[in-house]
Structure 1
């Protein structure tokens, strides 16, 4: 019999600080502001982790939110 994990999801292994995510997205043809990124975090209820007082979020989750914003024509 399989045992269900205590945590229903595995924690992301690609956590990055918001500032670094912002800097990477500036290099794309569809740059996003810090406000955009924070709105995506709120809207999609993305998990954030504070490390040494700096908020970190999953790069993969932000890329998905960025893709949705580009396809919707928001940025």
Structure 2
């Protein structure tokens, strides 16, 4: 029987990682902007995985889009 390595973050997931500043810039174009501090609250609330690279925090853009969708739905 072959064993399979369980890797929580694949290469595809690594490509999805964006800096909080870049995510904030992207969300500004949606008409429902979110500041970096708001994104940090979503990360804490959702216990999302954050990677620190060269003094910047990176998080999955997909995860933030889901949190953004929930926040917008709560407001409307």
TM range (shorter): 0.7 to 0.9
Pairing partner for 1:14 from 13, 16, 33: 16
Q: 1:3 to 1:48 in 2, by over 3 A?
A: same
> 1:19-38 counterparts in 2 under 5 A?
19-38=21-40
Runs of 4+ with deviation above 6 angstroms: none
Give the Cα separation in 2 of the matches to 1:32 and 1:49: 20
Gaps of 5+ in 2: none
Consecutive unaligned residues in structure 1, runs of 5 or more: none
- With the length of structure 1 as denominator, give the TM-score of the two structures: 0.84
TM-score between both structures, scaled by the size of structure 2: 0.83
CA deviations on 1:46-67 (whole Å, 9 max, x unpaired) are 0000111111110000000000
